[in-house]
Amino acid sequence: MRSSSSPPVRHILWSVSPRTEIDVLLRSISALGAFARAHEAVIQPVFVHNLNEGGIDEAEREFGKAIGRFSEPLFIRPKVISCAGSSVNGAVDALCDYAALSASDVIGVSTHARAGLSRMVLGSFAETLILRSKVPVLVVNPHDLWREERVGRILVASDLDAESFGFFKRVASVASRMESSLLIYSKTDKAQHLARAKVAGLWAQEVAQAFGVAAEIMIETGSEEVSSAIIRHASVSKCGMIALQTRSGALKAALHGSIARALARSAPCPLWIERA
């Protein structure tokens, strides 16, 4: 019997600009659409508009026209939310406030737009969002290879400690809904911690099985950067998603934040990030 302790996803915000390149839009729709269908959720396209760049009415017309090009049945009415000023933090805060107001369960975002300044700004927006959002963020980046409706395998990057167990249960629930298997990946730089990590890995494997999800454990030692190792294993194992939890506390936040930013830039598949 499958466990059902994790609340379902019902409302997904898709943070997007009307000026985003068509191939990036299609990539995002493919990833978010598959995720939404697995959860029987709806997708609301949202544009954070800087009022210094024009009035809200014109922004709504432009955004409605851009989204109207797609016949995705899961879309609900697009929303333009405004922010005063041009700071990335201000735009992220406006989006997070709307996510809370609309009781959204997930925010979807791309890390790539047109070349030059807008590409840099969008990347900065996504990287700031994953560290500030109170709801999980699904990141779709330029390197994504996801073209299939079903995500065959999800790589879960975890420290396998007590703080990560709740997160792991939520990912197992997502995997169950998406009919995916799990690759539980952990890395330690101390050999004496390896045995403890293996025991925790077996617990995680049992939790996955309670959700009806097959899981494989991979625990490594060595000097390779964690983000590089995750990307390598996700590519070799043909994972359709990577899941990661960022942490609180100055040192942990810095370490996990740097890993999250590196994955947002270079992961070969969509990235699910949840803040502890």
One domain, residues 170 and 229: yes
pLDDT (mean) for 183-188: 87
The domain that contains 107 carries what CATH number? 3.40.50.620
DSSP character string of 231-266: HHHHHHTT-SEEEEEE--SHHHHHHHHHHHHHHHHH
Whole-number pLDDT of residue 153: 93
Whole-number pLDDT of residue 54: 86
- Tell me whether residue 177 is in a domain: yes
Lowest mean pLDDT among 3-17, 39-53, 72-86: 3-17
Q: What percent of the chain has pLDDT over 70?
A: 84
Question: Is the pLDDT confidence value at 122 over 70?
Answer: no
Whole-number pLDDT of residue 150: 60
Whole-number pLDDT of residue 154: 95
User: Is the pTM of the predicted complex or chain greater than 0.85?
Assistant: yes
Dihedral over Cα of 130, 178, 233, 194: its sign: positive
One domain, residues 116 and 212: no
Which residues have CB under 8 Å from 97's CB, separation 6+?
none
Q: Give the phi and the psi of residue 261 in degrees, each rounded to 5.
A: -65, -40
Question: Is the pLDDT confidence value at 1 over 50?
Answer: no
User: 183 is in which domain, residue-wise?
Assistant: 153-275
Q: Give the phi and the psi of residue 157 in degrees, each rounded to 5.
A: -90, 120
Whole-number pLDDT of residue 250: 40
Question: Is the pLDDT confidence value at 249 over 50?
Answer: no
Q: What percent of the chain has pLDDT over 90?
A: 43
The CA radius of gyration of the chain, in Å to the nearest whole number, is 19
For the segment 125-171, what is each residue's pLDDT rounded down to a tens digit? Answer: 888 898 889 999 999 875 565 555 567 899 999 888 777 888 889 99
- Tell me whether residue 59 is in a domain: yes
Of 114, 140, 166, which residue constitutes the final position of a domain?
140
Q: How many domains does the chain have?
A: 2
Whole-number pLDDT of residue 256: 62
One domain, residues 125 and 165: no
DSSP character string of 159-219: --SGGGHHHHHHHHHHHHHTT-EEEEEEE-S-GGGHHHHHHHHHHHHHHHHHTT--EEEEE
One domain, residues 135 and 253: no
Residue 33 and residue 27: Cα distance in Å, rounded? 10
Most confident of 3-17, 104-118, 177-191, 223-237: 223-237
Under a CB-based contact definition with an 8 Å cutoff, are residues 182 and 272 in contact? Answer: no
Give the total residue count for the chain.
Answer: 276
Distances (CA, A) of 32 to 1, 87, 106, 242: 28, 27, 10, 14
For the segment 189-225, what is each residue's pLDDT rounded down to a tens digit? Answer: 666 567 777 788 888 889 999 999 999 988 888 788 8
Start-to-end CA span in the chain (Å):
28
pLDDT confidence band for 244 (50 / 70 / 90):
very high
Which residues have CB under 8 Å from 3's CB, separation 6+?
169, 172, 173, 176, 207, 210, 211
